[in-house]
């Protein structure tokens, strides 16, 4: 699972000026040819920096994203659902491991990344700063947040950085189970009692605004990312991904007889694009900067986990060990 809408740093126009123009040109033609960049290849500082930032945010999103769903394992309806949800949450944590490893090949150690997560320096997908009130919220996450993540990840898997693409290929294969599981859960609620239907409708009402935020600010206001698109770091614009998600999933939600809480939502048959109420980007900004319903709790849970595991890590540390960057 993964939140799109990476917060890329604004790019200064002179940040490429100190790069070697010959190497830069070689690098760019390689990407144009569709070749992957590997850890030992030359790359511009900006490419390295933005990739670390993106992969790291993705990894944090997997770790933090396991929390709102993880809370429902013990209270999932029935033994089978508990088993499935446990397997799914285990997958998410596993994805984080794969992603941290991919980011590490670029030269940032896992210790630094985890430090930056718990001190609040690094971001993670904003959607996980919202609480999962009921079982239906957990079903919404499993089905639709994962669906959004897949739209994003499938795009990124065609990117230019080899280790990240390889990690994403594995992740996407596992996500197909999450999506099927989530849809299964929602169909059971939708075809169940009135109370069950109402539960999902309420979850949908709560989660729709954060879901619209999920792919990041509208292209009209987001930071300029042309160079990142050219380097195949960012593969699709925020609005394009949002549109693709709506295209694939709004009909499926409507099919089940639920109402999406946006009176303006409709597909423009002329342009083929979806129209919707402009999401509240002020709120998005506010929450991503720490003032959401669960930001504090999410980081505090991570911090407590770190503290409680410290003695184990210390006991296992090998004094002779030296660090080397992993290979691929």
Partner 1 sequence: MNSLDPRVNRLPQVGQPEHVEPKAPLDQFGTFEVFVQPKEGKPFQHEGIVHAPNLEMAFVLAKEAFTRRFQCVSLYVVDTRNVYVSAMTEGNQSVFELIHDTPEQPGEKESYEIFFLTKRGKQHIHIGSVTAATPGEALTLTAKDYKTDKIIYNVWAIRTNDIRFTKPEEQELWLTLPEKKFRDASAYKAGDKLKDFLEKVNN
CA-CA distances (angstroms) from residue 85 to 88, 256, 322?
5, 22, 38
What's the min distance (Å) between Cβ of 103 and partner 1?
11
In the complex with partner 1, which residue's Cβ is closer, 74 or 271? 74
Neighbours of 99 (CB within 10 A): 27
Please calculate the CA angle 296-93-279 and round it to the nearest 5 degrees: 50
Residue 179 interacts with partner 1 (CB under 8 A)? yes
Contact 297, 288 (CB under 8 A): no
Residue 174 interacts with partner 1 (CB under 8 A)? yes
What's the min distance (Å) between Cβ of 149 and partner 1?
15
Among 32, 40, 223, 254, binds partner 1 (CB under 8 A): 40
Residue 109 interacts with partner 1 (CB under 8 A)? yes
Q: From its phi and psi, is residue 69 left (phi > 0), alpha (psi between -120 and 50) or beta?
A: alpha
Judged by CB under 8 A, the chain residues 195 through 254 that form the site for partner 1 are: none
Question: Which residue shows structure tokens 């790069």?
Answer: 19
Nearest by Cα to 292 from 209, 234, 185 = 209
Residues 49-78: x where in contact with partner 1 by CB under 8 A, - otherwise, as a string? ------------------x---x--x----
Beta carbons within 8 Å of 16's beta carbon, 6+ residues apart: 24, 44, 46, 227
What's the min distance (Å) between Cβ of 209 and partner 1?
19
Judged by CB under 8 A, the chain residues 257 through 296 that form the site for partner 1 are: 257, 296
Residue 322 interacts with partner 1 (CB under 8 A)? yes
Q: From its phi and psi, is residue 102 left (phi > 0), alpha (psi between -120 and 50) or beta?
A: alpha
Residue 101 interacts with partner 1 (CB under 8 A)? yes
HSE-CB at 159 with a 13 A cutoff on CA atoms is 28
Among 48, 180, 267, 273, binds partner 1 (CB under 8 A): 180
Residue 316 interacts with partner 1 (CB under 8 A)? yes
Contact 308, 118 (CB under 8 A): no
Residues 119-148: x where in contact with partner 1 by CB under 8 A, - otherwise, as a string? x-----------xxx---------------
Neighbours of 72 (CB within 10 A): 22
What's the min distance (Å) between Cβ of 8 and partner 1?
24
Q: From its phi and psi, is residue 12 left (phi > 0), alpha (psi between -120 and 50) or beta?
A: beta
In the complex with partner 1, which residue's Cβ is closer, 75 or 224? 75
Total residues interacting with partner 1, rule: CB under 8 A: 76
In the complex with partner 1, which residue's Cβ is closer, 2 or 161? 161
Among 87, 223, 229, 248, binds partner 1 (CB under 8 A): 87
Neighbours of 22 (CB within 10 A): 8
Among 17, 22, 173, 264, binds partner 1 (CB under 8 A): 173
- Identify which range of 3-11, 17-25, 172-180, 266-274 contacts partner 1 by CB under 8 A: 172-180
Among 16, 157, 172, 190, binds partner 1 (CB under 8 A): 190
């Amino acid at each position: 699972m993964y939140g799109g809408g990476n917060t890329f740093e604004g790019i200064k126009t002179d940040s490429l000026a100190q790069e070697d123009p010959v190497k830069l040109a070689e690098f760019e033609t390689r990407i144009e040819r569709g070749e992957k960049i590997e850890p030992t290849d030359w790359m511009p500082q900006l490419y390295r920096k933005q990739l670390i930032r993106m992969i790291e945010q993705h990894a944090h999103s997997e770790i933090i994203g396991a929390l709102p769903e993880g809370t429902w394992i013990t209270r999932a309806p029935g033994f089978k659902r508990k088993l499935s949800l446990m397997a799914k949450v285990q997958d998410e944590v596993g994805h984080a491991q794969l992603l941290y490893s991919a980011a590490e090949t670029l030269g940032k150690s896992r210790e630094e990344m985890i430090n930056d997560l718990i001190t609040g320096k690094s971001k993670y997908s904003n959607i996980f700063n919202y609480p999962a009130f009921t079982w239906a919220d957990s079903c919404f996450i499993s089905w639709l947040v994962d669906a959004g993540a897949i739209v994003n990840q499938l795009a990124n898997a065609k990117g230019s950085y080899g280790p990240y693409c390889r990690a994403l290929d594995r992740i996407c294969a596992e996500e197909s189970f999450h999506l099927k599981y989530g849809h299964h859960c929602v169909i059971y609620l939708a075809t169940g009692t009135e109370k069950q239907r109402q539960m999902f409708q309420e979850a949908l009402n709560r989660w729709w605004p954060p879901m619209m935020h999920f792919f990041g600010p509208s292209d009209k206001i987001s930071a300029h990312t042309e160079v990142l698109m050219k380097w195949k770091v960012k593969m699709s614009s925020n609005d394009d991904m949002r549109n693709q998600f709506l295209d694939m999933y709004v009909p499926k939600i409507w099919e089940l007889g639920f109402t999406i809480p946006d009176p303006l939502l409709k597909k423009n048959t002329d342009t083929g694009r979806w129209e919707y109420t402009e999401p509240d980007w002020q709120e998005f900004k506010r929450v991503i900067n720490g003032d959401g319903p669960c930001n504090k709790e999410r980081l505090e849970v991570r911090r407590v986990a770190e503290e409680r595991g410290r003695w184990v890590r210390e006991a296992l540390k090998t004094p002779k060990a030296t660090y080397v960057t992993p290979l691929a």
